Amino acid sequence: MEKIAFLGLGRMGLPMARRLASGGYSLTVWNRTPGRVPEPVEGLVEVADPAAAVRGAGVVVTMLADPAALAAVARQISAELAPGTVWVDMSSVGPAAVAEVRDRLPDGVGLVDAPVLGSVGPAGTGGLTVLVGGGPEDVERVRPVLERLGRVVDCGGPGAGAALKLVAIGAIVGGVAVVGEALALAGSLGLPEELAEGVLAAGPLGGLVARARAVDADFPVRLAAKDLALAGGGPVLGAVRERLLAHPELAEQDLARWVDAVRAGG
């Protein structure tokens, strides 16, 4: 198993890195805020510099917050990537940001976009859905790494995984917002919450109701708003984003807590 550099140890990145290490991979890891690996973990070596992390790595994985963070890391590591290295960006940044990174790469370095669907729990157990775009040879090179993290969905050529992530997250966040508004409407009409929720859960909105009521997910409201901004889109998703931003006190809380606020009349 070749060496992996894993950059970005946030809510999702740290359990994903641990998952790879538990599968026998050797990882050099970096995070903008150091000390994210609080105790020794077999297979993980934390370093203070992203450029140092990628030296000698055959596969580089990034799991970063937004396009600005990805661009900043790209400026620091691109010159250190050796021919034959494949960079796997698993961040939710959209196809335009992925294309900008690709334009920075030295000759002989591949790039695969592989954002994920799923939350912190599945990140640590290999239960993510990995949306993969890239050249066939690059994708096949990193497929064993990605399969360790979850179910791989082949989306097409470069940028296709990043694009599908925006489509999927727009539908999920928008749908969760609709469920929140529907439950708020039920309350305003004097209907028992359990009755309305049960009827919605038994129909085609069942998965969205479960997400709206989740207690173990960790997808902050600010990241949901960021993803909707990247998606652009029409008036519905734009309105949902404005509603998310209307609750700055919930910025670091999971999306389900925003639904709680909406149901309570916020």
Q: What does the alpha-carbon distance between residue 70 and residue 66 come to, in Å, rounded to a whole number? A: 6
> Rounded CA gap, 96 and 113, in Å?
11
Chain mean position to CA 134: 17
For 198, the token pair is: 């049960």
Do residues 130 and 151 touch, judged by C-beta distance below 8 A?
Answer: yes
Clarify whether 3 is annotated catalytic.
Answer: no
CB 53 within 8 A of CB 7: yes
> What CA dihedral angle connects 133, 139, 144 and 145, to 10 degrees?
-60
CA atoms within 13 A on the CB side of 78: 15
> For residues 84 and 142, what is the distance between their CA atoms, to the nearest angstrom?
12
Is 208 in contact with 172 (CB distance < 8 Å)?
yes
Give me the catalytic one of 19, 165, 226, 243.
Answer: 165
CA distance 135 to 131: 14
Structure tokens at 43: 């297979």
User: Left, alpha or beta for 136 (phi > 0: left; psi -120 to 50: alpha)?
Assistant: alpha
Of the candidates 78, 194, 190, 90, the one whose C-alpha atom is nearest the C-alpha of residue 132 is 90
Catalytically annotated residues: 165
